[in-house]
Chains A and B, each alone.
Chain A
Amino acid sequence: MTSLEEGFTAAVEGLDLPDRDLADTVLAAIAQLPPVPVEDRRHRVRRPRRRTWAVAALMLAMASAAVMVVAPARQAVAQWLGIGATRIVIEPGAGTTRPVPSTVAPPSGPPTTGPGDDADAIPSLGLPGSIIDGPGRARTFRWPAGDRLPPLTDGAVGAQLTVRPADGEVVTKLVDPAVEIVFVEIPGRREPTMALWIGGEHERSAPGGSPELAQRVLVWVDSGIEYRLEADLDLAAVLALAAEIEPGTHLLPPG
């Protein structure tokens, strides 16, 4: 051992670190999760680079597997974790009975069930139709509605991705206990990337703004950037869309 190494390890030993026992808290959190099923690593696939039917089918399988691997957590987990600068508050009646100004039109019909046996039904993002920069270095990408992307907002938008620095202002999601909140993993990532899926209408509240009615959304954070993907699709389909998104600061407007 070199003197430099000795000095380093001695200093690290003396660091003032939090020393509370984490085991009980972690156990309480994972008690909300189902047992972890074993998944054969040979079945893992990388994020698809080219859209072929075979790859799309694999992606669908991955999306389904992700839902099974990290099955629904209860609201307590969502409250405990939060995601990036998004906070989850469980509030009875939020987004369902309380009148709030709506910036998002209600769904035009029953939610798309997502891909089933027919691979042709798998939605895909492709190039966005429009890009809108907002305050707080936020940028919103919109994809037009179509056969596989049901209308989300004004009938023209089928999917919407908003990215912003994850240290931005805190946005609160008020969610009724009846609304599904699922703790899931984005498929196809090298490292586990967890996301929160809010599977129904809820209220979105930002500081200084009026609460808005929001639709189903998948929120995750990767390398300091928060991603919010909205689409009127089921979870498996939205996860498949999320897997297409190449994370990175290139998505943000110049700072």
Chain B
Amino acid sequence: MTSSIDHRSDAALVAAARAGDRGAFAELVRRHQRSAVLAATFALGSATDADEVAQEAFVKAFAALGRFDQSAAFRPWLLRIVTNTARNRHRFARRQQRLMLRVASQVPVAGPAPEEVAGHRAEAEAMVRAINRLRVGDRLILSYRWYEQLTEAEIAVALGCPAGTVKSRLNRAMGRLRREIEQEVTG
């Protein structure tokens, strides 16, 4: 089976979607789905319903495409809609679940030694526990900077905050994460 890859830029896809090409918007969904679900997960505090939030956000984004500034990046704008949608979910305040690491269901035939895998997993679990204790804004800004590799200007769009405050917010979030990690280490 072959799969075709759409090599058009986000800007080209947005322009096509605004012109009525819904296939172009579907490509945007596929391209940014993981980012949207992750942002929803961090905003909700759990992965439960994160895909529904992302789905709703994509529909809202499509409906608002006419107002989207085509000179701007699509993903930060989308992430802002995702987190707003997550905040508006009526079950938002009741969620108590935590982020969960994917449980490896298959034993690798070849690869790192089991003890090495276990070590990595323990590290990841400690990091996830630390992330769980962070406030939503800290999780999001760290994810936007480190995982999504957004620029400070893009983070400002995604968080809906002044661009001049991103660096200090990021530093504070990193400091809080370090403290949480220290707590993991010291028990």
* Residues of chain A whose beta carbon lies under 8 Å from any beta carbon of chain B: 4-5, 7-12, 14-27, 29-31, 33, 35-39, 41, 44, 69-70, 77, 81, 84-85, 165-168, 183, 185, 190-192, 194, 221-224, 226
Contact = CB atoms under 8 A, between A and B. Distances in A.
A221 B93 CA distance: 14
Contact of A21 (B20, B30, B93, B124): B30
B174 interface: yes
B138 to A, nearest CB: 11
A69 B88 contact: no
Given A7-B123, A36-B18, A36-B62, A224 B87 contact: yes
Contact of A191 (B27, B51, B80, B101): B80
Contacts of B67: 39, 41, 44, 69, 192
Given A27-B26, A39-B66, A8 B131 contact: yes
Interface residues of B, number: 65
7 contacts: A8-B177, A9-B146, A17-B41, A23-B30, A38-B66, A166-B88, A192-B61
Give 6 closest A-B pairs by Cβ, nearest first: A11-B127, A18-B51, A192-B64, A35-B20, A16-B102, A39-B66
Interface in B44-67: 47, 50-51, 54-56, 58-67
Contacts of B89: 166
Given A31-B22, A36-B66, A191 B81 contact: yes
A20 B34 CA distance: 10
Q: Helix, strand, loop or mixed for chain B's interface?
A: helix
Contacts of B60: 192, 194
Given A11-B128, A15-B102, 20 more contacts: A8-B146, A10-B123, A14-B101, A14-B102, A15-B38, A17-B37, A18-B47, A21-B33, A23-B27, A23-B30, A26-B26, A27-B25, A38-B66, A39-B67, A69-B66, A70-B63, A81-B59, A191-B84, A194-B60, A226-B90
Contacts of B27: 23
Contact of B59 (A8, A29, A41, A69): A29
B117 to A, nearest CB: 11
B63 A22 contact: no
A22 B55 CA distance: 6
A189 to B, nearest CB: 10
Contacts of B20: 35-36
Contacts of B7: none
